[in-house]
Amino acid sequence: MDTTQTTVIEPGNRIRLPAEWAEALGLQDQVVLVKTDEGILVRPHPQVTWDDVFANRLSARPAGPTRSGEAATAPEVTEVSGDDLLF
């Protein structure tokens, strides 16, 4: 696989990656762009599962101070199982 290729910047600042590069690097659907001093690095987007999404559930408590003036704290979760993620 060649490591250098020239491409045009299409309208909307779009670039087309060589298909063989995308396939070889596992790039599909979404990618992560990282701005560096040398240019732009394109990385595969990490796969996110529903378990990942629900493991970081939002707190059901209010974000601001409570009626007594105390700061609200997030409930403590000591163990999360697959059953905890069912609705």
Q: What is the pLDDT of residues 34-59, one digit of tens each?
A: 999 999 999 998 887 888 777 776 55
Spell out the per-residue pLDDT of the chain, length 87, in tens: 678 899 999 999 999 999 999 999 888 888 999 999 999 999 998 887 888 777 776 555 555 566 666 666 666 666 767 666 666
Long-range Cβ contact pairs of 5-14 (< 8 A, separation 24 or more): none
Q: Specify the pTM.
A: 0.50
Name the nearest CA neighbour of 42 among 62, 54, 28, 61: 28
Neighbours of 22 (CB within 10 A): 15
Helix (H, G, I), strand (E, B) or coil at 12: coil
